[in-house]
A and B are shown apart, each in its own frame.
Chain A
Amino acid sequence: MSDNGLEQQTVTVTIDGQEVTVPTGTTILQAAEAVGTRVPHYCFHAGLSAPAQCRLCLVEVEGAPKLMPSCVTTVQEGQVVLTESEQARAMREGVLEFYLANHPLDCPICDQSGECELQNYVFAEGRKHGRSREPKRVFGRDDFGGDVLFYGDRCVMCTRCVRFMNEVAEEPLLTVVERGDRSVIDTFFEEGVAGSPYAGNIVDICPVGALVSKDFLHKARAWDLEHTPSVCPGCSQGCNIELHTRDNIVQRLKPRLNLDVNGFWMCDYGRHRYEWLNRTDRIDEPLLVGPDGRRASAWSNATEEVLSRLRLSLGGEGAVLAVASPYASNEDLAELRALVTVLGGKEIVYRSPRADEEIPLPGFPQLSRRHDLTPNSGGADRLGMHRVGGDDGTGGLQHAEEHEGVLIVMGDELRDVTESFGSRASFYLYLGSYPTHGAKAAEAILPITTFVEQEGSFTNCEGRVQRFWPGLQAPGLALSAWRILGTLAATLSEEEEAPSGADQAFGRFAELAPEFSGLNFGSIGTLGAKASGSATSAGG
Chain B
Amino acid sequence: MAYPYTHEKEVRILSSGWGDPRSRTLEGWRALGGYKGLVKGFEMGRDEVIETVKQSGLRGRGGAGFPTGMKWSFMPKEKNGLHYLCCNADEAEPGTFKDRELIRWTPHQVIEGCLIAAYAIQADHVYIYCRGEFFEANQVLARAVEEAYEAGIAGEDIQGSGVSIDLTVHQGAGAYICGEETALMESLEGRRGLPRIKPPFPAAVGVFGQPTTINNVETLCAIPHIIRHGGEWYRQWGTEKSPGTKLFCVSGHVCRPGNYELPMGFPMNDLIHEVCGGIRDGRQLKAVIPGGASVPIMDAEECDGCELCYEGVIERGSMLGCASVIVMDDTTNIVRQVRRMVDFFAHESCGQCTPCREGTTWLSRILRRIEEGKGTEQDLDTLLDLGEKMTGTTICVLSDSAAAPVASSIQKFKEDYLALIRRGEAVGAV
- CB pair A98 B360 closer than 8 Å: no
- How many chain-A residues does the 8 Å CB contact rule pick out? 35
- Among A72, A134, A156, A182, the residue within 8 A (CB) of B354 is A156
A92 to B: closest C-beta gap in Å: 10
- Contact residues of B: prevailing secondary structure: helix
| Residues 335-363 of B contacting A (Cβ, < 8 Å) | 346-355, 357-362
A132 at the interface (CB under 8 A from B): yes
- CB pair A183 B362 closer than 8 Å: no
Instruction: Report the Cα distance A69→B355, complex, angstroms.
Output: 13
B389 at the interface (CB under 8 A from A): yes
Identity of the chain B residue whose Cβ is nearest the Cβ of A56 in the assembled complex = B354
Given contacts A99-B354, A157-B351, contact A69 B360 (CB under 8 A): no
Identity of the chain A residue whose Cβ is nearest the Cβ of B392 in the assembled complex = A66
The contact string, 1 if C-beta is below 8 Å from chain A, for chain B 395-412, is 100000000000000000
Q: Give every chain B residue within 8 A of A55 (Cβ-Cβ).
A: 353-355, 393-394
- CB pair B362 A132 closer than 8 Å: yes
Q: Give every chain A residue within 8 A of B151 (Cβ-Cβ).
A: none
- CB pair B197 A69 closer than 8 Å: yes
Instruction: Report the Cα distance A348→B242, complex, angstroms.
Output: 90
Pick out which of these stretches binds chain B: A172-180, A211-219, A324-332. Answer: A172-180
Instruction: Report the Cα distance A180→B402, complex, angstroms.
Output: 13
- CB pair A181 B346 closer than 8 Å: yes
- Among B347, B362, B389, the residue within 8 A (CB) of A134 is B362
- CB pair B393 A180 closer than 8 Å: no
- Among A52, A67, A101, A133, the residue within 8 A (CB) of B358 is A101
A168 at the interface (CB under 8 A from B): no
Q: Give every chain A residue within 8 A of B385 (Cβ-Cβ).
A: 94
| Residues 54-104 of A contacting B (Cβ, < 8 Å) | 54-56, 58, 65-67, 69, 72, 91, 94-95, 97-99, 101-102
B143 at the interface (CB under 8 A from A): no
The contact string, 1 if C-beta is below 8 Å from chain B, for chain A 448-469, is 0000000000000000000000
- CB pair A72 B357 closer than 8 Å: no
- Among A52, A66, A72, A134, the residue within 8 A (CB) of B369 is A134
A535 to B: closest C-beta gap in Å: 38
Q: Give every chain B residue within 8 A of A72 (Cβ-Cβ).
A: 197
- CB pair A157 B357 closer than 8 Å: yes
Instruction: Report the Cα distance A183→B193, complex, angstroms.
Output: 13
- Among A65, A134, A183, the residue within 8 A (CB) of B357 is A183
Q: Give every chain A residue within 8 A of B175 (Cβ-Cβ).
A: 179
- CB pair A180 B355 closer than 8 Å: no
B192 at the interface (CB under 8 A from A): yes
Instruction: Report the Cα distance A56→B353, complex, angstroms.
Output: 10
Instruction: Report the Cα distance A98→B351, complex, angstroms.
Output: 12
B203 to A: closest C-beta gap in Å: 19
Q: Give every chain A residue within 8 A of B36 (Cβ-Cβ).
A: none
A344 to B: closest C-beta gap in Å: 70
A228 to B: closest C-beta gap in Å: 36
- CB pair A52 B360 closer than 8 Å: no
- How many chain-B residues does the 8 Å CB contact rule pick out? 32
B392 to A: closest C-beta gap in Å: 4
Q: Give every chain B residue within 8 A of A58 (Cβ-Cβ).
A: 393
- CB pair A134 B366 closer than 8 Å: yes
Instruction: Report the Cα distance A135→B369, complex, angstroms.
Output: 11
Identity of the chain A residue whose Cβ is nearest the Cβ of B398 in the assembled complex = A180
B365 at the interface (CB under 8 A from A): yes
Given contacts A72-B197, A101-B358, contact A176 B393 (CB under 8 A): no
A114 at the interface (CB under 8 A from B): no
- CB pair B389 A95 closer than 8 Å: yes
- CB pair A134 B358 closer than 8 Å: no
- CB pair B350 A180 closer than 8 Å: yes
Give the interface centre of B353, B382, B392 by most chain A CB atoms within 10 Å. Answer: B353
Instruction: Report the Cα distance A157→B355, complex, angstroms.
Output: 12
A131 at the interface (CB under 8 A from B): yes
A417 to B: closest C-beta gap in Å: 59
Given contacts A53-B354, A134-B369, contact A181 B349 (CB under 8 A): yes
B217 to A: closest C-beta gap in Å: 24
- Among A56, A65, A98, the residue within 8 A (CB) of B389 is A98
Instruction: Report the Cα distance A65→B400, complex, angstroms.
Output: 15
A322 to B: closest C-beta gap in Å: 60
The contact string, 1 if C-beta is below 8 Å from chain B, for chain A 23-63, is 00000000000000000000000000001111110100000
Identity of the chain B residue whose Cβ is nearest the Cβ of A71 in the assembled complex = B197
Instruction: Report the Cα distance A531→B351, complex, angstroms.
Output: 50
- CB pair A179 B351 closer than 8 Å: yes
Q: Give every chain A residue within 8 A of B362 (Cβ-Cβ).
A: 98, 101, 132, 134
- CB pair A67 B393 closer than 8 Å: yes
Q: Give every chain B residue within 8 A of A99 (Cβ-Cβ).
A: 354, 358
- CB pair B197 A51 closer than 8 Å: yes
Instruction: Report the Cα distance A99→B354, complex, angstroms.
Output: 7
B92 to A: closest C-beta gap in Å: 14
Identity of the chain B residue whose Cβ is nearest the Cβ of A69 in the assembled complex = B197
- Among A66, A135, A137, A180, the residue within 8 A (CB) of B348 is A180
A157 to B: closest C-beta gap in Å: 7
| Residues 500-526 of A contacting B (Cβ, < 8 Å) | none
Identity of the chain A residue whose Cβ is nearest the Cβ of B358 in the assembled complex = A98
Give the interface centre of A55, A58, A95, A157 by most chain B CB atoms within 10 Å. Answer: A55
Interface residues of A, Cβ cutoff 8 Å to B = 51-56, 58, 65-67, 69, 72, 91, 94-95, 97-99, 101-102, 131-135, 137, 156-157, 176, 178-183
Interface residues of B, Cβ cutoff 8 Å to A = 175, 177, 192, 197, 346-355, 357-362, 365-366, 369, 382, 385-386, 388-389, 392-395
Given contacts A51-B197, A53-B352, 7 further A-B contacts (CB under 8 A): A53-B354, A55-B394, A65-B392, A94-B389, A98-B357, A179-B348, A181-B361
Selected A-B contacts with CB under 8 Å, 22 pairs: A51-B352, A53-B354, A55-B353, A56-B354, A67-B392, A69-B197, A72-B197, A91-B393, A95-B355, A95-B393, A98-B357, A101-B358, A131-B382, A133-B369, A134-B369, A135-B365, A179-B177, A179-B350, A180-B349, A180-B350, A180-B351, A180-B357
